[in-house]
């Protein structure tokens, strides 16, 4: 993922919301664990589409950036640089 599309501290719930906002049929699997962090249930998001993974990742990343920017504006935080 390019740095300009990246967001720090993203949760599976936020990715789900962004995927749905991007128009995808998405589902949250809250019990999924990353093999390196077997003790931590961070979850995963399943997206059903016929598009390439890179296209889906970019669209979801753009929606995440928008969602986080909206949340920052609502909280009155200064914009990150």
Domains of the chain: 7-75 (3.30.56.30)
Asked if residue 81 has pLDDT above 70, the reply is: no
Structure tokens at 25: 């049929």
Average pLDDT over residues 9-15: 91
- Burial of 57 by CB count in 10 Å (0-12 exposed, 13-18 middle, 19+ buried)? middle
Token pair of 38 as six digits? 């077997």
pTM for this prediction: 0.81
Alpha carbon 34 to its chain centroid, in Å, reads 16
**In this predicted model, what pLDDT tens digit does every residue of 32-78 receive, in sequence order?**
888 888 888 888 999 999 999 999 999 999 999 999 888 878 877 55
């Amino acid at each position: 993922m390019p740095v300009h599309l990246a967001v720090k501290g993203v949760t599976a719930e936020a990715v789900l919301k962004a995927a749905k906002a991007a128009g995808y049929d998405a589902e949250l699997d809250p019990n999924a664990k990353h093999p390196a962090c077997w003790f931590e249930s961070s979850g995963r998001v399943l997206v059903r589409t016929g598009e390439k993974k890179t296209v889906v990742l970019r669209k979801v990343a753009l929606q995440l950036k928008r969602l986080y920017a909206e949340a920052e504006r609502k909280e009155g935080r200064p914009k990150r640089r």
